């Protein structure tokens, strides 16, 4: 008789919260060291990159 492993825990929410905290700390560190303008520029560039990638993936899928 085979015994299959049990389902694993879902750690998605914990990962997302931890990632958000790490991003917040990274942007806070940038703001403290380089100034607030660099934080805004970095956030805007990341947002543009994410939107571009999503649009490209949507265009590929149909």
pLDDT band at 4 (very low <50, low <70, confident <90, very high): confident
Residue 9, φ and ψ in degrees, nearest 5? -70, 150
Distances (CA, A) of 38 to 14, 28, 44, 49, 54: 29, 11, 10, 16, 24
Q: What is the pTM of this model?
A: 0.51
pLDDT at res. 44: 95
Contacts of 30 (CB under 8 A, 6+ apart): 38, 39, 42
The 10s digit of each residue's pLDDT in 7-60 is 889 999 999 999 999 999 998 888 888 888 888 899 999 999 999 999 999 999
Cα 61 to chain centroid distance, Å, stands at 22
pLDDT at res. 6: 85
């Amino acid at each position: 008789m085979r015994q299959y492993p049990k389902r694993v825990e879902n750690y998605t929410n914990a990962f997302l919260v931890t990632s958000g905290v790490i991003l917040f700390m990274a942007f806070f560190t940038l703001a403290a060291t380089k100034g607030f303008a660099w934080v805004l520029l970095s956030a805007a560039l990341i947002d543009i990159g994410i939107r571009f990638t999503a649009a490209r993936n949507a265009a590929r899928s149909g």
